[in-house]
Amino acid sequence: MPNHSIGMALYHNELEKLWVYRARVLIIAFVLILLGGMYVVYNNHQSAQVMQQQVIHMMHAQIIKLRQQIRHSSGHTKTMLQHQLQMQEQGLQHMVLQKQNLNVTSQIKTLKTSLKHTPSASQGSSQEELTKYQFMASHGILSYNPGAESGFRLVGQVFSNPALFVFALLAIGLSADRISSEIEGGTFGNLLLHAPYRMKIYLAKLFASLTLIWGFMAACAVGFFAIGSAFFGIGFAEMPHVVGIRVNILGSPPQVQVPMQTFHLLSQWSYDLLAVFLSMIAISALVAIALTISLLIRSTLLTLIVGAMLVLSGGLSHIFGSLAIWDPVSQLTLMADWTRKATIQFSIHGFSLQSGLVVVLTWAAVAIIMGLWYVEHLDV
């Protein structure tokens, strides 16, 4: 039998075994993730609307109170109160505008006028807003409601930190016993004795695990999008999202500053699809790590414990300081690295899409190389 035929046969055999033993768990997890996630998203959406109404009501009350105080004050106190009133009115106007449709062309004109009177060093955020509005206008989006959902989005709802931690735990669970259970049962040794290609056996288990977890993630993405769109609509496929921002971390305690910079804009559909792809890369590294740990430890229980501890370490990354950048679990949301949300969260300069990919791919490469070497030298 040709080499590639042996490899494909081993792969199909591993995939079939995985599906037989894990299909029920994956289907239950899929339903729970879908229903539970949609409940959380819908509840958060409703809570945000209620909170917005409460904030507007409080600001109205504060403005009325300030106007009464101004009528009964004078001198420096009156000037200070008038300044507070102006700030409150501007804040209220901003909150009200978030509930109304904005004219994109008018916003472009307003921002261009504002930039003429803004120092160059402070133009970063306004320039970013202007570029987004120009992108929208060039793609036919002439009005939109900034306070409403721009359509159900995969990022932030399906591939956010909590959801990715669930995917990570499932990846560990799928891979933890791929080798250790067969070593414990004595079947792995027999397989190696009768198969001339040990590396193909390891790679078949790796790719079968990856196929199942990738399929599960893709199914969750499609399911979330289908159900979520029924609640929030599909929005604008060309709604822009800023990525590749350069930020500075200054002072003590650290503060994030967005200077004038060159950044990239991605449309909503490409942003979401890229985030899904990057998430699958990050999860793949955990699958490779879990499979190699299973081979080295030869115990399913210990592999699950070590894998769970690795995943949970991502929740403690904020206490690791600059070492957090080398934690593969901290890199689960690689899109957050590109949008610089990770930099803001950890106050570490090094977080970027490039550094995140290097970390994830390094972990995956080391795990696979160790697994291939060990399976070749495993004494059976």
Tens place of pLDDT per residue across the chain (380 aa) = 565 677 788 888 888 888 888 888 888 888 888 887 777 777 777 777 788 788 888 888 888 888 888 888 888 888 888 888 888 887 777 777 666 777 888 888 888 888 777 766 666 667 777 888 888 888 888 887 765 555 556 655 556 667 788 888 888 888 887 777 776 666 666 666 655 677 888 888 899 999 999 999 888 888 887 777 777 766 677 788 777 765 544 455 444 444 445 667 888 888 888 888 888 999 999 999 999 988 888 878 888 888 888 888 776 766 666 677 788 887 787 877 777 666 666 666 667 788 888 889 999 999 999 988 888 877 65
Check: CB of residue 238 under 8 Å from CB of residue 139: yes
User: How far apart, in whole angstroms, are the C-alpha atoms of residue 366 and residue 372?
Assistant: 10
Comparing CA positions, the residue from 208, 166, 203 lying closest to residue 332 is 166
Q: What is the pTM of this model?
A: 0.78
